[in-house]
A and B are shown apart, each in its own frame.
Chain A
């Protein structure tokens, strides 16, 4: 296995989606390749940094129509219960 192949297998490797044989090949390659080890570490850091991003906020004006949907639904079902 060469480095060019390995970088394309990194996600499958991290996701546990490789077959046993391929996984062993990846690990054998990593054990002797500093470049690919650095690459894998960079991908892990990328995942970690992405996880720090802020969740998006919903704009206040978008809340109102949804609140209305809830209230209408709630009113509608108590009316039909009666």
Chain B
């Protein structure tokens, strides 16, 4: 059953936000364990964003960002991505590679591979949490990585959806480390035909 993102009621939006909240909570726990730092997350913001405004949701479109993206193809299909501003991605590499703060200045093959693997772990935690809760399968394809303009990255992810409507449902969570600012955004875009499946699985049949 395909559900238009614009047709969701408040209860359903709350439920989806809670699903994302639990998923992101697991991802943050993984990241904290991986880096031995104390990452916190915001309450997920939930938006039905018109396509022409879509790429601006992360802030400045031309700001350089690093993103790890994994398409999800199972009972629920969609797109999950982790975006970090460039300087935050460098700081994350410092932490994971046990470098001195400020050592990572470029995101070359080594750093990209570290970010891809980190993203893979976080996104898998996110998806596993949702799968456990809903009893649905959410297998993901291997991660892709990009370092480019934030707007171009988000637009490319949106365009990867074959059934992309004029609006995209996006659930975003910000995470930040308290000691040193490492901030990232978690973006989850379920395919329209998966929204109904997800809502049914969590007991909110339409």
- Genuine A/B complex: no
Query: Interface residues, chain B, CB within 8 Å of chain A?
Result: none
